[in-house]
Amino acid sequence: MEILAFTLHIADRLLFSAVGASDSGVIIVYVLDIVEIELYGEGLPSLSDLYNDRSNYYGKFKLSSNNESPAGTLLFEFASLISSNYGKDRSRMELAELSVAGSQLTELVKEGLVLEKIL
């Protein structure tokens, strides 16, 4: 669920810049409802709660540019969170790999939103 919450956060950031706060919020709530029903059903932990918690956390960080240190960026913090929650004692290389995976996921989300003519 962590990766899904991260993916939704990225989608929300992209939507916010394209359609504004009101419309992006409506779209994300709609997607959250569908995902919770279709993928998780009833009785499982709330994706909405996790998404809200993570969005508050991830909202503190900026996306990195190619020429700056990844420390303190959204992708680095995502990698650190995954590492600390699911695999103690990760090396710097593993954190970098998780950060790259997060970056690739970000691009896939963006491509999907462009294909759907939302961005």
Q: What one-character-per-residue DSSP string does 50-116 give?
A: HHHHHHHHHTT-PPPPTTS--TTSHHHHHHHHHHHHH-SS--HHHHHHHHHHHHHHHHHHHHHHHHT
Number of domains in the chain: 1
Q: Which residue, among 59, 33, 57, 58, has the nearest Cα to 47 in the 3D structure?
A: 33
Cα–Cα distance for residue pair 101/83, rounded to 1 Å: 13
**pLDDT (average), residues 4-32:** 85
Q: 69-94: per-residue pLDDT in tens?
A: 677 788 888 878 877 766 666 566 66
Domain that holds residue 43: 2-115
pTM over 0.95: no
Predicted pLDDT of residue 3: 80
Confidence grade of residue 44 (pLDDT, cut at 50, 70, 90): low
Higher pLDDT, 33 or 90: 33
Q: Which residue, among 7, 21, 22, 27, has the nearest Cα to 118 in the 3D structure?
A: 27
Angle between helices 74-86 and 92-115 (to 10 degrees): 120
Confidence grade of residue 53 (pLDDT, cut at 50, 70, 90): very high
